[in-house]
Amino acid sequence: MKYVLDSSVGFKWFLVEDQTVEARALRDDYRASVIELLAPDVFPVEIVHALTRAERANRITSYEGSQLVADLFSILPALHQSLSLLPRAYEISSRARIGVYDCLYVALAKREGCSLVTVDDRLLRTMTSFSVVSLKSIGRS
């Protein structure tokens, strides 16, 4: 099984939040080569951005953040160039009225013929005509 991994799910690999257990089970399945995970090349940028926000909110220390960034590089999904996804992401963003960053993930899932797994409720509600699925709905493979 192949999925596009939304950064909202990937972030849960690093900090304990709602659905962290499910996100880490997905990560473990990826590590064991049970599933394939893909993401646009903005994925690590979005994760690191979220980690800096967590540091500013005193959820993690600077040292912990640095360690988590290093951990990120050891478990990245297969990254795909966002430039090639931009024209389709723009079309989706324009029609759905959602951010182009989110639409990069949707465009990749569409191109690869697989589902985008997310915990972003707005994305799930908005992208009903695309193959966007909730992390809870896929369960442990």
Identify the pLDDT of residue 140.
52
CATH of residue 95's domain is: 3.40.50.1010
Interval 6-65: pLDDT, tens: 999 999 999 999 999 999 999 999 999 999 999 999 999 999 999 999 999 999 999 999
Report the domain count for the chain: 1
Three-state SS annotation for the chain: CEEEECHHHHHHHCCCCCCHHHHHHHHHHHHCCCCEEEEECCHHHHHHHHHHHHHHCCCCCHHHHHHHHHHHHHCCCEEECCCCCHHHHHHHHHHHCCCHHHHHHHHHHHHHCCEEEECCHHHHHHCCCCCEEEHHHHCCC
pLDDT value at residue 93: 95
The boundaries of the domain holding residue 65 are 2-138
pLDDT in tens, 50-93: 999 999 999 999 999 999 999 999 999 999 999 999 999 999 99
